[in-house]
Structure 1
Amino acid sequence: MAFDNKNRNFKERDRRAPEKRDSDRPFRDKSDFSDGDRDSFRREEPRTDLIIGRNAVKEALKAGRPADSLLVQRGEKSGSIRPIIAECKEKGIIVKEVDSKKLDFMCGHAHHQGVIMIAAVHEYSTVEAILQNAQDRNEPPFIVICDSLEDPHNLGAIIRTADAAGVHGIIIPERRSVSLSGIVGKTSAGALEYVPVARVKNITNTVKELKEKGIWVYCADMDGTPYKKADLSGALALVVGSEGSGVSRLVKENCDGVLSIPMKGNVNSLNASVAAAVLIFEAAAAR
């Protein structure tokens, strides 16, 4: 399925190789996010996406169950937990240390054996289905790509924004990325039921494939061109990078352009979901 800008009366644009820049950092506020070793989990209501206990987690990993993260009791890294942690890291599942009281609270004081896995709770779509969604609406594709986001609140907020702006679908990587957990669904305020989310093995290859289909791909970075100067009309994919390291080098090198949001205050960054919202609605206005 290819999208011909001339046939669809889209604006003419010259596809240029993206400029290489020194910084791979996106719009972010490090204080808002955690890395894989920090405890950032917040529970507000009973969870239905928890896999509790060592044997249950082992079987879930063996079965290839999509997972958001593994929560391990602080100080419990030996014995049978060690291979669980190793396998999660190999699969790109985020591992976090938390206090035992938090695990107790999350599972209703069930016997968790020092480990809880947060599993995906929603079925994934495909890139082909997202493109078909655009074709069914008789619209040029409008896609958001999340390059290794780790915070489920960010992904949920982006999904909610995407639904409001008419985005046809979201793409995330299989490894080293938050998955469709209960927190994502809750933060999306129900939008997850309407915005298809596809998981792919390689974001860089997906970017290349989208470009071959006539879709223009732009990523967000503080050192990019001010977004108001970019032509965001027509078939488009926007890439938002991870909270800590931004858009990966290879993904950025394969994008058609790099966009920035000019900052006037003392803080020179926005969190990932806010930056995504600014660019998504700018693109929506240009369609």
Structure 2
Amino acid sequence: MAGGKGGGLGGRGNKSGSSRKGAMKGSGGQRSKGLEGKGPTPKATERAKHPAAKRAVAATRRTQGTTGGRGTSRPKVPYKANRQISELIAGRNSVVEALRAQIPATTLYIAALIDIDDRVRESITLATQRGLPVLEVTRQEVDRLTDGAIHQGVALQIPQYDYAHPDDLLRLAEDASETPLIAALDGVTDPRNLGAVIRSAAAFGAHGVVIPERRSAGMTAGAWKTSAGAAARIPVAQAGNLTRTLESYQKQGLVVVGLAAGGTMDLAELEAGTDPLVLVIGSEGKGLSRLVQQTCDLTVRIPIAAATESLNAGVAAAIALYEVAQRRQRAGRL
């Protein structure tokens, strides 16, 4: 029968069988407590599931660098230049030239079943003479290692460059009892120009080269090759902020001189060349950046024919370093 023992919606509590709604006898007023006020409504950012709260949490994580789940600190990801891993040189000509230039290397990879020509034979001979591992791998493995570059079955792995600290260059000069001479590059992004500056710095008695971490060429295979071995004899330092590094050098007694087309004097008039010196070279197109130029104690120009708009960084550095070396030699400072 439809009602059964319980009498419809009331269940066991309504012995009279009445269908009347409301608080039942003996409830102790529990229903009335449920109607009490719960206070003001929380702000949207305080309600975990509200979109505004989720946006606030995401913004906090971006600012503080926290992980998503546990709230533990996560260090900021350094700039890519600081995370440079080993580089692979691909192609028969590139590999054999790198080995001839004594570029530091860790492993030579040769794809199995390739045609062996004179370049491959010489690469294997040079690697073996240097005690480098020569590994025969599948062509697919070389494809993977070189990320699809044209490799002709040959690849050479070179290690990450171990950059010096800018202050290390001053210690080198101090240990040699010499007047510091440092070349700094501002916005030079061509590795060949970096290699050329390193070569000139080594030739004219500089104690090292400073490059910024950002927007700058690094010590790649191209820079090693252009340096013609000089990169093994002179250190390259990386500066997190070039302007602050130059200011630090100034505090330690160095004169910061920038090469600029609109310099206040000709290079030949630079009497400060015999002082502890930082020579700053900018990019061919943009020259020195505004902040770097403002930081310089002096700016000098290299007189050139009107038909030539500018010199590239490698050539400009060579001319300026030569002039400084000649002035120091005359003054007996070398």
TM bracket (short chain)? 0.5 to 0.7
Q: What pairs up with 1:117-156 in 2 under 5 angstroms?
A: 121-156=160-195
How far off is 1:106 after superposition? Answer: 4.0
Runs (4+) of structure 1 exceeding 3 A deviation are: 102-110, 118-121
Q: What pairs up with 1:204-243 in 2 under 5 angstroms?
A: 204-224=243-263, 225-231=265-271, 232-243=273-284
- Quote the residue 1:14 is aligned against: none
The separation in 1 between residues aligned to 2:160 and 2:194, in whole angstroms, is: 14
- Quote the residue 1:199 is aligned against: 238
- Quote the residue 1:253 is aligned against: 294
Question: Which amino acid is the alignment partner of residue 135 of structure 1?
Answer: E
How far off is 1:141 after superposition? Answer: 0.6
How far off is 1:201 after superposition? Answer: 0.7
**Residue 166 of structure 1: which of 205, 210, 232 is its match?**
205
**Structure with more strand by fraction:** 1
- Quote the residue 1:282 is aligned against: 323
Residues 159, 192 of structure 1: 8 Å contact kept: yes
Question: Which amino acid is the alignment partner of residue 268 of structure 2?
Answer: K
The separation in 2 between residues aligned to 1:280 and 1:120, in whole angstroms, is: 30
The separation in 2 between residues aligned to 1:258 and 1:123, in whole angstroms, is: 31
Unaligned runs of 5+ in 2: 1-89, 99-104, 107-145, 329-334
1:122-162 CA-to-partner distances (Å, cap 9, x unmatched) read: 21111121111000110111000011211011000110011
The separation in 1 between residues aligned to 2:169 and 2:237, in whole angstroms, is: 8
TM-score between the two structures when normalised by the length of structure 2: 0.52
**Residue 176 of structure 1: which of 183, 201, 215 is its match?**
215
1:174-230 CA-to-partner distances (Å, cap 9, x unmatched) read: 111111001101110000011111101101001111011110010011111211111
The separation in 2 between residues aligned to 1:278 and 1:106, in whole angstroms, is: 37
TM-score between the two structures when normalised by the length of structure 1: 0.61
In structure 2, the CA distance between the partners of 1:143 and 1:120, relative to structure 1 (3 Å rule), is farther
SS at 1:268's partner residue?
coil
User: Per chain length, whose mean CA-contact separation is higher, i.e. which structure has more relative contact order (CA < 8 Å, sep 6+)?
Assistant: 1
How far off is 1:243 after superposition? Answer: 3.0
Matched residues, number? 189
Moved more, 119-128 or 177-186: 119-128
Q: Does 1:187 align with 2:226?
A: yes
1:253-274 CA-to-partner distances (Å, cap 9, x unmatched) read: 0101111111125212111110
The separation in 1 between residues aligned to 2:238 and 2:190, in whole angstroms, is: 16
1:80-119 CA-to-partner distances (Å, cap 9, x unmatched) read: xxxxxxxxxxxxxxxxxxxxxx985544479xxxxxxx98
The separation in 1 between residues aligned to 2:168 and 2:214, in whole angstroms, is: 21
The separation in 1 between residues aligned to 2:233 and 2:216, in whole angstroms, is: 21
Residues 259, 281 of structure 2: 8 Å contact kept: yes
The separation in 1 between residues aligned to 2:175 and 2:324, in whole angstroms, is: 20
The separation in 1 between residues aligned to 2:303 and 2:147, in whole angstroms, is: 42
In structure 2, the CA distance between the partners of 1:105 and 1:169, relative to structure 1 (3 Å rule), is same
Identity %: 37
In structure 2, the CA distance between the partners of 1:120 and 1:239, relative to structure 1 (3 Å rule), is farther
How far off is 1:121 after superposition? Answer: 3.9
Alignment RMSD: 2.6
Larger radius of gyration: 2
Residues 284, 310 of structure 2: 8 Å contact kept: no
Question: Which amino acid is the alignment partner of residue 276 of structure 1?
Answer: A
The separation in 1 between residues aligned to 2:245 and 2:229, in whole angstroms, is: 27
- Quote the residue 2:110 is aligned against: none
Question: Which amino acid is the alignment partner of residue 259 of structure 2?
Answer: A
**Structure with more helix by fraction:** 2
In structure 2, the CA distance between the partners of 1:121 and 1:204, relative to structure 1 (3 Å rule), is same
